[in-house]
Amino acid sequence: MTPLTAKTALDRSYLETRCKLIEIAANLDRIERGAEAGAAVSDPRLKLIREGLALLNRTDISTADRAERVQKLFSQEYEQTWSAPNAK
């Protein structure tokens, strides 16, 4: 099975992506316009969202793994040394 060409992928996703960007912009506007916006601005979740947006705009990423990078940004850290109950 052959993946879509880049142009076809863009053709198919352009309007949807545009719409989602506007939704994000509107959500950020709503947060900043809200009562007691100062507390929200310092909320670590908002910081994560801004870091995620910055990740999307990086041009120094050579492989198409933005989704994975954003996923990891929003993930708890895994510690390889954790004690599994069935460790030998």
Partner 1 sequence: MISRLTDDYERLAHAGCVAVSEPAFWAGFDRGSALSFRDYFRQLTEVEPKRAAQYGIQHFCWLCINAKEAENVALSREVIAMIPEFLDKPNVLGIGEIGLNKNTKNEATIFCEHLELAASRDELILIHTPHLDDKYKGTRMILDMLRNESRIKPERVLVDHAEEHTIKHILDAGYWCGMTLYPITKCTPQRSGGHDRAAWHAAHLREFGGGLGAVEPDGGAGADA
Q: Where does this chain bind partner 1 (CB under 8 A)?
A: 1-4, 12-13, 16, 65, 67-68, 71-72, 74-78, 80, 82, 84-88
Q: Which is nearer to partner 1, 14 or 37 (CB)?
A: 14
CA distances from 88 to 79, 80, 82 (A): 18, 15, 13
Q: Which is nearer to partner 1, 38 or 44 (CB)?
A: 44
Q: What is the DSSP string of 30-79?
A: HHHHSTTHHHHHT-HHHHHHHHHHHHHT-S---SS-HHHHHHHHTSPPP-
CA distance 8 to 13: 8
- In the complex with partner 1, the residue whose CB is nearer, 37 or 73, is 73
- As measured in angstroms, the least distance from the Cβ of 62 to partner 1 is 14
